[in-house]
Structure 1
Amino acid sequence: MAATTPDVDVLIVGSGPAGAAFARTIGDAVPSATILMVEVGPAIPGVRGEHTQNMTESDRVAAQLLTQGPHAGIERATALADIAEGIDPSLEFRQTVLPGLFFVDPRPVHGCGEVGLPAASMASGVGGMGIYWAASCPRPRQSERIACIPGDQLDAALDRAEQLLGVSRVEGGDIGVPGALRAAMAAEFDGPGLSPVGFMPSAVRWEGDTLRFSGTGVILGEIERTVPGFELRSETLARRVVVEDGVAIGAEIEDRRTGAVTLVRARHVVVCADGLRTPQVLFASGVRPPALGHHLNEHFQMVSFVQLNDEFDPAAFPPDERGALGYVLIPFSDARPMQGGVMALANSPYKLSMGDDPATQRLGLVAWYGAKDVLHRDAVEFSETETDFYGMPKMSIRYGRTERDLETIEQMRRNSLRSAELIGRLIEEPTLAAGGSSLHYQGTVRMGAVDDGLSVCDPYSRVWGVENLYVGGNGVIPTATAANPTLTTVALAWRSAIRLAAALG
């Protein structure tokens, strides 16, 4: 077969944090590279990849309406009119779909003994979830870390990910109400073999008097200026990766504005669609290793509101302006397989409507996230005959809980009560959020040390059995985690992109 000149060096499917990390890293290493990034959703007005927390209220609402996929342009109340049984739209911030997102399946069907992920959601727009994420960047600890990557290499990748995301850490002693909250949590939850209580590293920065959140655009940086061959093409669907003789040679893409379908040839293809759509693209491409879609997991989530005691009244403290969110972190440890967080909502940099009632100024947030028992049977599966809104293989999710999971959930409930009682009075009992609410779907294209049928890609995110095909995103993470995964996801993408860039030479 005669060789065909590729249209681009690298084709990246998806414009979220992982895809951005691939593009930025390859562009920095090989500025002469031609890189095409395709995004199924629309461009968002304003700065490319800007975090919505940095926008005005009107611009933020406009961005949210654009990224709702099949519900684009529809007000949230209407979009939530037909949702899964048992999901209450009045609790949408904590338990259902967030503004700007749409359900994977508004009326999922669960198998016998399964609980499913009824609130599983996604966004479609330039920047992906990187324009909505909470900016929390804890490092994975102990069994959360990935065993098939040498420890020093993983740490170096995490270092670089912190640089790409612009992560800030709280340094110094306990100051203000966050410091008082940290001290209270440390007295209760520190102990032998447990990671000490501290503050959540956060991808935020001060610009004058304004705290800015790192969106996907921060990762991409000035790539359009430094890499002339970079292009970000919105409203473009990657229908399938084209594989010839075991080699990925490009992808079939569709312009969703015109319906035109073309083949873009590439030396390397990187699929970073998200933890659910990345395996969907591989399935549609006929790339179906045994582990594809399996080992699906997200951490359990339990969030409670607290009326803070007098000693933690934010009005009695000066604001803590050290470049972070003031979010107290109770880290994951193997001896306590969950992550806790406590935060005073008054003076929070998050744009929350607190109202004028003095009682609302004393609200705090207590959140616990538990690691899931990872099993092969938990999976996102795809139909051979039915399609979704985008014409891709329709998804269905199989998901259950083990006895170990039930024990973790009960321990989360007890820890929620313990942490809340230390600082105030619970407004309501801790409740497990609907499955899928965390938006952190892992394991579906998981990496592994060897091609033994239990993983989809190698430690450099190269898909087993297909040359020049890479995957990225939360789905690559093979471990059970309670920690927010974005930092790890960007670290893995950077590490893989360094190897890919070397191959371009």
Structure 2
Amino acid sequence: MSPRNDRTDVDVLIVGSGPAGSMYARTIGELVPHARILMVEAGPRVPGTRGDHTQNMSEQDREAAQLLTQGPDAGTQRDAALLDIAEGLDPSLEFRQTVLPGLHFVDSHPTLRSGEVGLPAASMSTGVGGMGIHWGASTPRPHQSERIPFIPEDEMDAALSHAERVLGVTEQRPPGAGLAAAIHSAMAEEFDGPGLTPVGFMPSAMHWEGERLVFSGTGAILGDLEEDVPGFELRPETLARRVLLEDGVAVGAELQDRITGEVSTVRAARVVVCADGLRTPQVLFASGIRPRALGHYLNEHFQMASFLQLGDDFDPARFGRDPREHGYVLIPFSDARPMQGGVMALADSPYAIGDDDGAAASRLGILAWYAAKDVRYEDAVEFSETETDFFGMPRMTIRYSRTDHDQKTISAMYANSIRSAARIGELTDQPTLAAGGSSLHYQGTVRMGPVDDGSSVCDERLRVWGIAHLYVGGNGVIPTATAANPTLTTVALAWRAAKELAATLADER
């Protein structure tokens, strides 16, 4: 039987249906299968199977799903949304394609203080599955100082391995084959060295089913939860306005039906907030839970991407091609090189441009570099006491600046972009720093810490300091400066926390 008492409606309330919230739900359901678990999501259901990645959908369903999850811009075509961008924000092809479909801006007209650069492209998704139905599916492990120093390495490695299994991660092993092997060899010669993480291939949460490449969406995490856990309910278009507290204990939440406007409360033995890196601290702020670190230490790594034409030695026509190999060469983060690089020839990947596009197009490649930000308390998302956003929650303002150290990192990232391109071909344009917020990886806002000293919001099991029975999750819990894509780490950390939460429920049975 489940750990019921007369004063609870559910055993676990989970706010947010993205990867972290879904990992909590799955883990608790597996360990306590009779638990009553309510997951609430502010956005709507989308076409197709629950939590499926949009890349697996038909073009018609994908476009419908993207329009549905655009929050205040729901139903707005991308070209129309571009008409409302702050002055100076680059409306480039890359920006249109990677930020707007399925997402909506936090603030497309930010007001910056002197010296601030802000995150003008900061965006979020509002719909069942969260960002997990839109993400790029890259799942590198963190390396060296990207790793969380107060979690034992063997424990973290076990959690990462579990997350890889749940997400269905596949990885091409060095040295690779064909053109991918040639590019890997060139990048290894250029970037490998003592103390540096060796060049490899990007792990990805995708796999082949016959002739079809399948991306792992949030549904891959939830699995068969509805069938296996009768007490699980996913309730869409339900906004969590605030966590309810009694004597320092989280006892439920105030919910609003976004269709009818009706406000109700649900009482829960445990509350988990996984709204995303910006809305999780927003929910806590609205609840009066305001530790010193809440919203601070905001960290989004720098992003720089460019196209190149492959040289004669890397002409795809010289190599056999296996479309099942992604061919995405990874130059991992190292402390001596605090950035991550990726190189992919389009003609040797599932995203290949056909031969009928001409010889020039067939030689097209992509470079993408991410660099770690200098983590500072001053970089923050702040919340208004008086103004509200589209959802009626405290309005966000992002305070974000670059330090001298950041400027040096960006210069080094530019230099490495030039180096990697020159090794295998020629750039078609100069590498350009993407608008702040473009990576969509917002970390640190509810960061974990080893002790409650004011520099963190939660402990290493994601329990909020000073509030019993309240947990958080998502990219915002990551406390370190990173360049690696964070989803794998986020899912791994949610699994560790959910196991602890499930054990406390089991103890109460």
Which bracket does the TM-score occupy, shorter chain normalised?
Answer: over 0.9
Look up the match of 2:495: 494
Separation in structure 2 between the aligned mates of residue 494 and residue 321 of structure 1, nearest angstrom: 33
The residue type equivalent to 1:387 in the other structure is T
Look up the match of 1:48: 50
Is residue 2:181 matched to residue 1:145? no
Separation in structure 2 between the aligned mates of residue 435 and residue 408 of structure 1, nearest angstrom: 15
The residue type equivalent to 1:204 in the other structure is M
Using the TM superposition, name which of 439-448 and 200-209 deviates more. 200-209
**Mapping 1:56-455, distance limit 5 Å:** 56-93=58-95, 97-171=99-173, 173-321=175-323, 325-350=326-351, 356-455=357-456
Quickly say closer, same or farther: Cα 1:178–1:25, change in 2 above 3 A. Answer: same
Using the TM superposition, name which of 311-320 and 243-252 deviates more. 311-320
Separation in structure 2 between the aligned mates of residue 163 and residue 97 of structure 1, nearest angstrom: 28
Cα shift readout 1:457-500 (whole Å, capped 9, x = no counterpart):
00000000100000000000000000000000000000000000
Separation in structure 2 between the aligned mates of residue 348 and residue 199 of structure 1, nearest angstrom: 12
Look up the match of 2:20: 18
Separation in structure 2 between the aligned mates of residue 437 and residue 355 of structure 1, nearest angstrom: 32
Quickly say closer, same or farther: Cα 1:351–1:394, change in 2 above 3 A. Answer: farther
Cα shift readout 1:110-130 (whole Å, capped 9, x = no counterpart):
111111001100111111110
The residue type equivalent to 2:372 in the other structure is A
Quickly say closer, same or farther: Cα 1:448–1:355, change in 2 above 3 A. Answer: farther
Cα shift readout 1:184-228 (whole Å, capped 9, x = no counterpart):
100100001101100011111110111111000001000011001
Quickly say closer, same or farther: Cα 1:331–1:255, change in 2 above 3 A. Answer: same
Quickly say closer, same or farther: Cα 1:99–1:299, change in 2 above 3 A. Answer: same
Contact 1:87 1:96 in 2 (8 A): no
Cα displacement (A) at 1:429:
0.4
Look up the match of 2:474: 473
The residue type equivalent to 1:138 in the other structure is P
Contact 1:53 1:350 in 2 (8 A): no
Quickly say closer, same or farther: Cα 1:139–1:89, change in 2 above 3 A. Answer: same
Separation in structure 1 between the aligned mates of residue 355 and residue 401 of structure 2, nearest angstrom: 37
The residue type equivalent to 2:28 in the other structure is I
Q: Secondary structure at the match of 2:204?
A: coil
Q: Secondary structure at the match of 2:385?
A: strand
Separation in structure 1 between the aligned mates of residue 142 and residue 298 of structure 2, nearest angstrom: 18
Separation in structure 2 between the aligned mates of residue 290 and residue 428 of structure 1, nearest angstrom: 44
Contact 1:181 1:423 in 2 (8 A): yes
Q: Secondary structure at the match of 1:425?
A: strand
Separation in structure 2 between the aligned mates of residue 320 and residue 469 of structure 1, nearest angstrom: 48
Separation in structure 2 between the aligned mates of residue 17 and residue 451 of structure 1, nearest angstrom: 26
Separation in structure 1 between the aligned mates of residue 408 and residue 42 of structure 2, nearest angstrom: 40
Cα displacement (A) at 1:91:
2.9
Quickly say closer, same or farther: Cα 1:384–1:162, change in 2 above 3 A. Answer: same
Spell out structure 1 runs of 4+ moving beyond 4 A.
350-355
Contact 1:449 1:458 in 2 (8 A): yes
Cα displacement (A) at 1:318:
2.8
The residue type equivalent to 1:30 in the other structure is V
The residue type equivalent to 2:365 in the other structure is G
The residue type equivalent to 1:282 in the other structure is L
The residue type equivalent to 1:186 in the other structure is A
Cα displacement (A) at 1:85:
1.3
Quickly say closer, same or farther: Cα 1:49–1:350, change in 2 above 3 A. Answer: farther
Contact 1:96 1:119 in 2 (8 A): no
Separation in structure 2 between the aligned mates of residue 245 and residue 130 of structure 1, nearest angstrom: 35
Separation in structure 2 between the aligned mates of residue 469 and residue 101 of structure 1, nearest angstrom: 28
Contact 2:173 2:201 in 1 (8 A): no
Q: Secondary structure at the match of 2:426?
A: strand
Q: Secondary structure at the match of 2:347?
A: coil
The residue type equivalent to 1:329 in the other structure is L
Quickly say closer, same or farther: Cα 1:474–1:451, change in 2 above 3 A. Answer: same
Cα displacement (A) at 1:273:
0.4
The residue type equivalent to 1:169 in the other structure is E
Q: Secondary structure at the match of 1:372?
A: coil
Separation in structure 2 between the aligned mates of residue 354 and residue 398 of structure 1, nearest angstrom: 47
Cα displacement (A) at 1:92:
4.3
Separation in structure 2 between the aligned mates of residue 401 and residue 353 of structure 1, nearest angstrom: 41
The residue type equivalent to 1:401 in the other structure is R
The residue type equivalent to 2:382 in the other structure is E
Cα displacement (A) at 1:361:
2.1
Separation in structure 2 between the aligned mates of residue 190 and residue 353 of structure 1, nearest angstrom: 33
Separation in structure 2 between the aligned mates of residue 85 and residue 457 of structure 1, nearest angstrom: 37
Structure 2: which 5+ residue stretches go unaligned?
none
Cα shift readout 1:114-167 (whole Å, capped 9, x = no counterpart):
110011001111111101111111111110000121111111111111111111
Cα displacement (A) at 1:4:
4.7
Separation in structure 1 between the aligned mates of residue 349 and residue 228 of structure 2, nearest angstrom: 36
Identical aligned residues as a percent: 71
Q: Secondary structure at the match of 2:330?
A: strand
Cα displacement (A) at 1:306:
0.5
Contact 1:40 1:238 in 2 (8 A): yes
Look up the match of 2:459: 458
Separation in structure 1 between the aligned mates of residue 109 and residue 50 of structure 2, nearest angstrom: 34
Contact 1:95 1:434 in 2 (8 A): no
Separation in structure 2 between the aligned mates of residue 445 and residue 352 of structure 1, nearest angstrom: 41
Cα displacement (A) at 1:346:
2.6
Quickly say closer, same or farther: Cα 1:503–1:92, change in 2 above 3 A. Answer: same
Look up the match of 2:37: 35
- The alignment's C-alpha RMSD in Å is 1.6
Separation in structure 1 between the aligned mates of residue 174 and residue 435 of structure 2, nearest angstrom: 37
Separation in structure 1 between the aligned mates of residue 283 and residue 355 of structure 2, nearest angstrom: 42
Contact 2:78 2:96 in 1 (8 A): no
- TM-score w.r.t. the length of structure 2 is 0.96
Contact 1:44 1:63 in 2 (8 A): yes
Number of aligned residue pairs: 502
Separation in structure 2 between the aligned mates of residue 179 and residue 173 of structure 1, nearest angstrom: 5
Q: Secondary structure at the match of 2:321?
A: coil
Q: Secondary structure at the match of 1:89?
A: coil
Cα displacement (A) at 1:178:
1.4
Cα shift readout 1:385-436 (whole Å, capped 9, x = no counterpart):
0000000000000000111100000000000000001111101101100100
Cα displacement (A) at 1:93:
3.5
Look up the match of 2:484: 483
Contact 1:457 1:463 in 2 (8 A): yes
Contact 1:95 1:433 in 2 (8 A): no
